[in-house]
Structure 1
Amino acid sequence: MTGVAAGRRRRRGELPMVPDARFTSYYGKPVLKAPVWHSPDIPGYLFLGGLAGASSVLAAGAQATGRHRLALVAKTGAFGGIALSLAGLVHDLGRPARFLHMLRVVKPSSPMNVGSWLLAAYAPLAGASALSAVTGRMPRTGAAATAGSALLGPAVAAYTGALVSDTAVPAWHDGYREMPYVFVGSGAAAAGGLSLIAAPEGEHQPARNLAVLGAALELAAFTRMEKRLGMVAEPYRSGRSGRYLRTGEILSVAGMLGALCGRRRRVVRVLSGAALLASSAATRWGIFHAGKASANDPKYTVVPQRERLRERT
């Protein structure tokens, strides 16, 4: 645990001669420089990338089991998601050439570089898979592209969790153990929710299963992360980010219940799918704003450092 109450311990009966020091920074200035990423570009990039990666896995499963209409929905959702995700990323970078510059080297130790190569490989495969499904042409090429995008899909859904955890932002960095699971679960819930909305009658069961499992994974991983982080998790419970995340939790639970109870009612399935999509988006926006809040408040950087130093001594 990184976040615990700071203060000097006294022996029983010992009287304090001076009051306990309270943490303040130099002129109240942040210790870290907050990320220069902007909303809605980067939260949208995180949300839509997870939706795309999980949709490719769902598409491959639907195609393998003969659910061709569900496969069409998932394939087009995957391509639309990754296209919009890349658009948000490039818009935040300012110039498309900056994304291409990241492909000049291969650096496995950099989540940003690995993610750039993942997107460069995944997006054409998702596009070819969707194009074949929509036009009905080149079925073998489409099947191969579907398999390739499904193979890369989990990495596309998870790497953004590693990306934000690789920063110095306390609320992101300290959650490095659970953050990829939160992102994968959120992406699966979004992919399942989208397919619940658009999938035809009789082919929605895999989408429902994916949505429920994804939402459950997201809630479990996020709850574990909050408990482990201690005081560093405060931005996840307060302010703008806290409102996003509380809304996401409510929508996630409502979406899961609707997906489980509305098997034979299309209206209920559509509403639960919309709730799960909105929940996934709210989670990404909440995590984004919580990270920026923790970077702007120096106590989330300095207090855990002092506590770790005290434990060593």
Structure 2
Amino acid sequence: MTVSDFDNYRPPEPPRRSRRGGKRRRVGTGDGSGEMPMVPEPEFASYYGRPVVKPPPWGDPIGAYLFLGGVAGGSALLGLGGQLTGRPVLCRNSRLAALTSVGIGAAALVADLGRPERFLNMLRTIKPTSPMSLGSWILAAFSAGVGISAASEIDRLTGSRLPLGPLRRMLRAVEGPAGVEAALFATPLSAYTAVLLSDTANPTWNAAREDLPFVFVGSASLAAAGLAMITTSVQEAGPARALAVLGVAVDVIAMRVMENRMDPVAAEPLREGAPGRMLTWSQRLAVAGGIGVLAGGRHRPVAAACGLALLTASALTRFGILRAGIRSTEDPRYTIEPQKKRLAARRQAGIVDDSITTAG
């Protein structure tokens, strides 16, 4: 018998059961009518208890970035709606909300990266196959449009007292096109983070890759509409109420479709534990807020309460999905069981010669 240094890492073997008379004792109910199975149920484990997939090193700053990116994108759309329908207060509040959200969100992203130059380094090239590269450029382009349009609103709020000089006339001329440009990048900003999460080996995020962008777009609509209903009078918040109802429908339907289309094992982290509770309450608040908007959205107190519910629902969706994905990397079962099912399905379909993993 050979012994190596790696034997020290092996778990201790269970004690062997002694035999009587050279025969294995039959284990059963005592009446001989049945026996206990000799092969135990499989337990999915990895080498030395390590995760199969490395957990992403993302915490609350990234969760805040996911949420605030949705607020910014939806608010830019509402700002364009206010601009086109002649609602100056809604336009102003939405533009300022978009600027504030994208500014705080970018700060949260830089805080997670550790150094600001790391974000700037991502702008040196454009890589179409990288969601992170494209997302950095989407964020930069969106921020430029929002910054110009919001700067004009801030100058207008101060009574044109900002020291702009001859630039004020130019700022007034370009604020409209800048608002349109920001709105064009609003939906990509709201959805690209979903592509960024699902374009990984994370079991839960990857299994949701086809429907997660729709969930994030619905969540962004909830957040922006809710914030506008809190900050804007009901006389000018008509587009926000319409976006809120649409956002509730998209969010609830997309979440249900996503969970039903996912592998049941990979979808478990979305339903269990703290992430499951977050997502359950998110759906409840979204539905309650949508009903409140339809029933009494034209009353200021009701509109503000519904807006707070929708804003909270959006935040719970983003944080819940982030933490569900992190939780799915902690148990090897969420990685191994769906892989085995996919392998069995490919073999059953006759695909047995395209790679090592599907060889017969």
Normalised by the length of structure 1, the TM-score is 0.92
Name the residue aligned to 1:112.
132
**Alpha-carbon shift at residue 263 of structure 1 (Å):** 2.8
- Give ranges in structure 1 of 5+ residues lacking alignment: 1-14
Name the residue aligned to 1:184.
217
- For residue 296 of structure 1, give the secondary structure of its aligned residue in structure 2: coil
Matched, 1:166 2:194: no
* Aligned AA (2:241): R
**Alpha-carbon shift at residue 261 of structure 1 (Å):** 1.0
* Aligned AA (2:96): T
**Alpha-carbon shift at residue 28 of structure 1 (Å):** 3.0
* Aligned AA (1:65): T
Matched, 1:246 2:280: yes
1:44-80 per-position Cα deviation (integer Å, ceiling 9, x unaligned): 0000001101111111111011011111111111111
Q: In structure 1, what is the Cα distance between the partners aligned to 2:229 and 2:140?
A: 28
- Aligned residues: CA RMSD: 1.4
Name the residue aligned to 1:269.
303
Query: Of 132, 140, 144, which residue of structure 2 is paired with 1:124?
Result: 144
Which ranges of 4 or more aligned residues in structure 1 deviate by more than 6 Å?
Answer: none
**Alpha-carbon shift at residue 219 of structure 1 (Å):** 1.2
Name the residue aligned to 2:174.
141
**Residues 221, 201 of structure 1: alpha-carbon distance in 2 compared, 3 angstrom cutoff:** closer
Q: In structure 1, what is the Cα distance between the partners aligned to 2:230 and 2:298?
A: 13
Higher RCO (CA 8 Å, separation ≥ 6 residues): 1
Name the residue aligned to 1:206.
239
Query: Of 60, 71, 76, which residue of structure 1 is paired with 2:96?
Result: 76
Matched, 1:23 2:56: no
1:154-212 per-position Cα deviation (integer Å, ceiling 9, x unaligned): 11111111110111111111100000000011001100001011112311111011011
Q: In structure 2, what is the Cα distance between the partners aligned to 1:56 and 1:86?
A: 16
Name the residue aligned to 1:306.
340
Name the residue aligned to 2:187.
154
Percent identity over the alignment?
Answer: 47
* Aligned AA (2:272): S
Name the residue aligned to 1:33.
54
* Aligned AA (2:44): F
**Alpha-carbon shift at residue 19 of structure 1 (Å):** 4.4
Q: Select the structure that is richer in helix.
A: 1
- Give ranges in structure 2 of 5+ residues lacking alignment: 1-35, 157-167, 348-360
Normalised by the length of structure 2, the TM-score is 0.80
* Aligned AA (2:343): L
Name the residue aligned to 2:228.
195
Q: In structure 2, what is the Cα distance between the partners aligned to 1:85 and 1:79?
A: 10
* Aligned AA (1:168): A
